[in-house]
Amino acid sequence: MKFILVHRIPGRARLRCGTGFDARAAEVLADGLDALDGVEGVRVNPRTGSVLLLYAEESALERAVTFLDGASFSREKRLLVEKRREQTRPSLFPFFRYLVIRPLLPVAVNMVTACTQALPFLRRCLSSLSHGRLDVDALDGAAIAVSLLRRDFGTVGLLTLLLSFGDALERYTQKKSLENLASHLALRVDRVWVKRDGAESLIPFSDLRESDLVIVRAGSAVPVDGVVEEGTASVNESSMTGEPLGVMRGPGASVYAGTVVEAGEVCVRPTSVGKDTRMQQIVRFVENSEQMKAGIQGRFEKLADKAVPFTFGLAALVWLFTRSLTRAASVLLVDYSCALRLATPLAILAAMDEGVRRKVMVKGGRYLEALSTVDTVVFDKTGTLTQSRPEVAFVIPAKGYGENEVLRLSACLEEHFPHPVARAVVHGAEKRNLRHEEEHTDVEYVVAHGIASQWRGKRVLLGSRHYISQDEGVDVLLMEAKIEELSRKGYSLLYLAVDGALAGIIAMEDPLRPESASLVERLRGMGVNRVIMLTGDDARTASAVAGRLGIAEFRAQVLPEDKARVVRELKAEGRTVLMLGDGINDSPALSSADVGVTLRDGADLAREVADVVLMGGSLRELVTALELGRGAMTRIHDNFMLTMALNTVFLFGGLTGLLRPGLSAVLHNMTTLGVSLNAMRPVLPKGE
């Protein structure tokens, strides 16, 4: 297994292999890397074949690369990892050993044990100082060193016990948070059935090649993105689209990893395997979310870093004025940064995980923060506020014609064309059970204008007013009053003319989503003071739709490039802009906004560009996304205030001598644990 270095900055590197590997192999890698000198943190993602390393020195990175090049996954090694994995979970046994067993042991044994346990922390302290860093490791090491100088081995034992437990808890909680988030998205496949040279065989997923035919039977998940080569099946795509009903997929149709075959059997030719599938691209959003930290997380981390030198300076002053190493050690053990560094990313990960469970996928912490401050929402009309599915609303016949006759003849012409308006006319006739015979001659389609044909020896025209009236010279003034009324109400009009005379009008509408109006009202109740609708419709139609939705501000006849310009102008005014659109032409605006949001059935490019995807397909999830962002930021600020207040009290206790080093360490670690658990609580009430 060959790993390649794909990203590197001082103290941090990411390596990736060509294929993914299973969870046990990941444990082998993580266990082996974590044991290397100088390696301070390891995160292994088996689904994407990625290894993230945090290291103190360049030689540690070299050792890690050497280890990865020679990594093997033998059965014995995996069994050893299974055992070690159990041991890495935070355990209360060390506390029992310290409180019950230690007092029974000879003093010399306790001294040696305390010094041995202190060595890793002292090494980390020296490593930080040698690199010019006054960080948490330096602070912890200094506190332990002071206790050793005082020959207070009981305190040394307690400090190392608490710090070790805190490290284990941090690794465990971060790992579980990431695993919980990824588990809602990732597809777990160890082995797949393939057809090679006409024979079926069961192979490891890691051995799958794009030249294989993957066999997927009823009840099984599709393991790859691909095209159906053989067979027909009903495929449930709810994991990808949120649509609960199965869709039929036959030869030539595309299927995606993570979807499930409900009935039937298909052979799939892979187009994307492993890390390249759509589902794994989603998982990589989780992996890369650490590179999209919320600004608040970065600010708190910087604040935490600045607090460390302050703590050192204060401890030095305490020793200078009191000459008490005990008080100095107590000050060193009160550290603001631990809780801030741990609780903030945990709160973000927990909120992202909660979002996935509520069908809202947020692609990084920075977008959660932006969601919390949104004051302007910009909607594209078609496909977001509306259902993007035209329907026949009214049929208004001219004198001498009936409604059914107008609609039947129009459907007879439109059935030859696949565009949405044509389908709507044909569907409207079907709803009225109108049968239309093929009585016309060849149909001539005039692009962007309409249709011309011969029917019963008469010339028939169907299309826009411009085509019927201006291009073909048909008089429409006799129905002008009705035309004006329907136009004011926002209907699109289709005109039918027979032998140079107007035969009738079909009023078309793009139905609003049932939740659109209530969403606009809810947004205003949440403090979003500007809601803007963008549309390519004319101003009259746009005004009618906006009025039905309660939107006071709209832009009509907007081109795709104009949408992005509108968003940039709003941002230039100092507003935090959320843009919601679902089409390819919305992508520039989605990229320009502070938060770009799209729906599950949006265009591929829109889903790729968007920062938030509403996986349930309902606009109500936009409210969920906003509440999620606000709740996460409120939780982070609450944790910040709690951390600062409690640790300040502990610091005062150390300065005055009310708290000894051991008690300071206990209280400090309890604070870190408390704010971490608070960070991981659900942000939204269960009923929402």
pLDDT (tens digit per residue) in 398-412 = 988 999 999 988 888
CATH superfamily of 363-387+513-628: HAD superfamily/HAD-like (3.40.50.1000)
HSE-up (13 A, CA, CB side) for residue 595: 32
pLDDT average, residue stretch 381-403: 85
Distance from C-alpha of 640 to C-alpha of 337, rounded to nearest angstrom: 10
Q: What is the pLDDT of residues 321-342, one digit of tens each?
A: 777 777 777 677 666 666 666 6
Q: How far apart are the first and last CA of the chain?
A: 46
The residue that leads in pLDDT, 238 or 617, is 617
Write the pLDDT tens digit of every residue in 393-443.
Answer: 889 999 889 999 999 888 888 777 656 677 788 888 888 888 766 555 566
pLDDT score at 78: 46
As a whole number of angstroms, the distance between CA 277 and CA 280 comes to 5
* Encoded amino acid at 59, one letter: S
Fill in the amino acid letter for 198.
G
Tokens representing 276?
Answer: 């390249």
What is the rounded CA–CA span in Å between residue 662 and residue 666? 6
Contact 482, 505 (CB under 8 A): yes
DSSP sequence for 452-470? EEEETTEEEEEE-HIIIII
User: What is the average pLDDT score of the chain?
Assistant: 76
Mean pLDDT of 605-624: 82
**pLDDT tens per residue across span 166-202:** 566 555 545 554 554 455 445 556 678 888 877 888 8
> Positive or negative, the Cα torsion across 350, 356, 360, 365?
positive
- What's the rounded Cα separation, in Å, for the pair 331 and 320? 13
User: How many other CB atoms are found less than 10 A from the CB of residue 530?
Assistant: 17
Q: Which residue has the tokens 């998205």?
A: 185
Assigned token pair, 351: 């909120």
CA nearest neighbour of 533 among 589, 599, 492: 589
Question: What token pair was written down for 354?
Answer: 């909660």
Alpha-carbon gap, residue 434 to 318, rounded angstroms: 93
The architecture (CATH level 2) of 3-88 comes to 2-Layer Sandwich (3.30)
CA distance 262 to 235: 6
Closest Cα to residue 83, out of 129, 11, 122, 28? 28
Please, what CATH class does the domain formed by 391-509 belong to? alpha beta
Tell me the C-alpha distance between 493 and 481, whole Å. Answer: 13
Name the residue among 247, 223, 226, 228 with its Cα closest to residue 237: 247
Query: Can you tell me the distance from the alpha carbon of 612 to that of 219, in angstroms, rounded to the nearest whole number?
Result: 30
Within 13 Å of residue 375, how many CA atoms lie on the same side as its CB?
8
- Mind listing the pLDDT tens digit for each residue in 23-46? 667 767 777 787 787 787 777 776
301 has a pLDDT exceeding 60: no
Which SS3 state, helix, strand or coil, does residue 600 take? coil
DSSP 434: -
Classify 249 as helix, strand or coil: strand
Backbone angles phi, psi at 194, to 5 degrees: -130, 160
Does the predicted model carry a pTM greater than 0.85?
Answer: no
Show me where the domains of the chain are located: 3-88, 128-181+286-349+631-679, 191-276, 363-387+513-628, 391-509
How many CA atoms lie within 13 Å of 401's alpha carbon, on the beta-carbon side? 21
pLDDT tens string 196-250: 877 888 888 777 877 889 998 876 778 888 899 999 888 866 455 434 456 788 8
How far is residue 453 from each of residues 328, 439, 467, measured CA to CA in Å? Answer: 96, 10, 14
* Beta-carbon contacts of residue 510 (< 8 Å; ≥ 6 apart): 382, 386, 387, 388, 389, 390, 391, 492
**Residue 197 — left, alpha, or beta (φ > 0 → left; ψ -120 to 50 → alpha)?**
left
Kindly give the residue spans of alpha helices, DSSP state H, lying in 261-375.
278-288, 295-322, 325-332, 337-357, 365-372
Cross-strand partners of 475: 501
3-class secondary structure, 625: helix
% residues pLDDT > 90 (the chain): 12
Q: What is the DSSP string of 69-83?
A: HT----HHHHHHHHH
- The amino acid present at 120, given as its one-letter code, is P
The catalytic residues are 380
**How many angstroms separate the CA atoms of 525 and 408, rounded?**
47
- Residue 291: what pLDDT? 45
List pLDDT tens digits, range 52-111. 787 877 788 888 888 887 665 444 444 444 444 444 455 656 767 766 677 777 888 888
Q: From CA 272, how far away is CA 256, in angstroms rounded?
A: 9
Dist. CA 658–CA 554, nearest whole Å:
64
CATH 2.70.150.10 assigned to 191-276:
yes
Residue 260: enclosing H or E segment and its boundaries? strand 260-272
* H/E stretch holding 60: helix 58-69
Two structure tokens written together for 606: 């829109």
CA distances from 398 to 218, 421, 436, 497, 506 (A): 55, 21, 20, 10, 11
- In which order are the strands placed within the sheet that holds 458-463? 391-397, 501-509, 492-498, 458-463, 450-455, 444-446
Residue position matching structure tokens 């790992």: 175
- Angle ∠(665,671,675) on CA atoms, nearest 5: 150
Which of 481-485, 574-578, 648-652 shows the highest mean pLDDT? 574-578
